[in-house]
Amino acid sequence: MDSEKRQLHLFFFPFLASGHLIPAIDMAKQFALRGLKISIITTPLNASLFSKTIEKSKTMGLDMNVLVIEFPCVEVGLPIGCESYQLATSLDLRTKFYQATAMLEQPLEKLIQEYAPDCLVASTLFPWTTGVAKKFGIPRLILHSMSFFSTCTAECLRLYAPHKKVSSDTEPFIIPNFPDEIKLTRKQLPDFYTQNVQTYATKMYEQVLEAELTSFGAVFNSFYALEPAYANFYKKVLGRKAWQIGPVSLCNQDTEDKAQRGKEASIDFHECFEWLNSKKLDSVVYVCFGSMANFNDSQLKEIAIGLEASEQQFIWVVKKEKNDEGKEEWLPDGFEQRVKGKGLIIRGWAPQMMILDHEAVGGFVTHCGWNSTLEGVSAGLPMVTWPVSAEQFFNEKFVTQILRVGVAVGAQQWARFLGDSIKSEAIEKAVIRIMVGAEAEEIRSRARELGKKAKKAVEEGGSSYSDLNSLIEELRSHGIAGAASKN
């Protein structure tokens, strides 16, 4: 068959967590929209989360399917069904979770043997997939889950270790040789930077970096106009190959698609939509901390008090289970009664993208996960930044200092599980700063401009649209070269 006409087949293998699966499905859809065949490799529980999206894509004529592999919970001592990273709620469980992911090598190889895909697009957190792809003579693309800014920050910390040259955890240091002056403290860094012992996480991080240097390249959920200095830094200074094809969430155009991303929402989306329809333009602040971040009862209470004191309308997503007596200790007495009609609490999973895109929403309190950050940017919203974990403190700097579309609530301490304590007064103040007054208007107009640029990037002829074309072309020529060398 003429290889130029042959349909390319891509294996997508995202890490098993909502913050990775959601953008991966959106990204896979972008490739499928260009006529490529996509197989998503995942485990039974995760496959069930996006089965509706896959069914819908098929009705749209897209060539997308799911190939299911079992997750070895029992073999590593994880509870049965612990197939998603957010279910691994202790350090021990997380280490076991990573061990289980490394055991997916054989089932993945079996699938590659059976289906002979042209390329393996696999999460950064599966560094071993570069070796698997090499074994089968296909390129491995890194499915990146961070921004260029944060990836470059992480790499410069590794190269120059400025955090080792300060005398305390609170003394700020500057990232050396960086396009902008970015100050951080040791307290804001993931714990593996500050631990001197080798752990599973530190070893894994080394493998991730090595894989980044030996893979075909990386695909980023970002767009050129958002972070040109850092895209250039990544490519020219760090010398790595990358394509930026985001914001991938923008492939969800109708309200139902937006509402169905990730998981079944805990609120009927019509009810949520109606509630928002009854509100004025830019009058609601949306408060959500992603799929992983957690707070204790007293912190949640502070958020409730802060929101009420801000006198703003809000949607607040709380992922806290009721206690053994079926009570919600975090809820101030009479809170829901007092804020009735003005504030909506979603207990569980929110249809985030649909909410952010609604014109009544005028601000976003976010934990700065990269997806949420980019969704906030795409919706043209001012943000209150409240980083908790992972690379979220880096994203906060990006939002507040580089993009200047957000204000920090004042979190200072990186945490693996429970977010830093913030007083209600700080929450109230930060929410007011992005919702009312001259400063809010100034931030909003900058945010709106960015939102427009985000949409333009994915339109035909936009930078992300073109970068996706070039990537597909490169994969095609690689496929042709590969096929020729096999003959």
**Rule CB under 6 A: which residues touch ligand UDP?**
18-19, 22, 261-262, 288, 290-292, 317, 349-350, 352-353, 369-372, 375
Which residue type does 314 have?
Answer: F
Q: How far is the CB of 54 from ligand UDP (least distance, A)?
A: 17
Q: For the stretch 312-344, what's the b/e string if a residue is b when 16 or more beta carbons lie within 10 angstroms of its beta carbon?
A: bbbbbbbbbeeeeeeebebbeeebeeebeeebb
Answer for the pair 139, 216: CB distance below 8 angstroms, yes or no: yes
Q: Which is nearer to ligand UDP, 138 or 346 (CB)?
A: 346
Specify burial of residue 346 (Cβ count, 10 A radius: 0-12, 13-18, 19+): buried
Q: Which is nearer to ligand UDP, 343 or 479 (CB)?
A: 343
Q: Which is nearer to ligand UDP, 290 or 382 (CB)?
A: 290
Q: How far is the CB of 371 from ligand UDP (least distance, A)?
A: 3
Q: How far is the CB of 266 from ligand UDP (least distance, A)?
A: 8
Q: How far is the CB of 316 from ligand UDP (least distance, A)?
A: 11
Q: How far is the CB of 129 from ligand UDP (least distance, A)?
A: 20
Could you tell me whether strands 173-174 and 183-184 are parallel, antiparallel, or unpaired per DSSP bridges? antiparallel
Q: How far is the CB of 453 from ligand UDP (least distance, A)?
A: 20
Which residues, other chains included, contact 53 with Cβ-Cβ below 8 Å and sequence gap of 6+? 25, 257, 260, 261
The residue number with the shortest CB distance to ligand UDP is 19
Q: Which is nearer to ligand UDP, 148 or 370 (CB)?
A: 370
Q: Which is nearer to ligand UDP, 345 or 431 (CB)?
A: 345
E-assigned strand segments in 124-247: 140-143, 173-174, 183-184, 217-220, 242-244
Q: Which is nearer to ligand UDP, 31 or 349 (CB)?
A: 349
Q: How far is the CB of 290 from ligand UDP (least distance, A)?
A: 3
Q: How far is the CB of 64 from ligand UDP (least distance, A)?
A: 19
**Would you give the DSSP letter of residue 342?**
T
- C-alpha 15, offset from chain centre: 11
Tokens of 420: 């830093």
Q: Which is nearer to ligand UDP, 39 or 352 (CB)?
A: 352
Cα distances (Å, whole numbers) of residue 251 to 7, 26, 27, 31, 161: 21, 7, 8, 11, 39
- As a whole number of angstroms, the distance between CA 214 and CA 209 comes to 9
Q: What are the backbone dihedrals phi and psi of residue 318, each rounded to the nearest 5 degrees, phi first? A: -120, 125
Q: Which is nearer to ligand UDP, 18 or 188 (CB)?
A: 18
- As a whole number of angstroms, the distance between CA 449 and CA 151 comes to 25
- Nearest Cα to 395, choosing from 368, 413, 416? 368
Q: How far is the CB of 352 from ligand UDP (least distance, A)?
A: 3
In three-state secondary structure terms, 242 is: strand
Answer for the pair 480, 3: CB distance below 8 angstroms, yes or no: yes
Q: How far is the CB of 464 from ligand UDP (least distance, A)?
A: 17
Q: Which is nearer to ligand UDP, 126 or 178 (CB)?
A: 126
- As a whole number of angstroms, the distance between CA 154 and CA 392 comes to 12
Q: Which is nearer to ligand UDP, 23 or 139 (CB)?
A: 23
- As a whole number of angstroms, the distance between CA 65 and CA 380 comes to 33
E-assigned strand segments in 140-267: 140-143, 173-174, 183-184, 217-220, 242-244
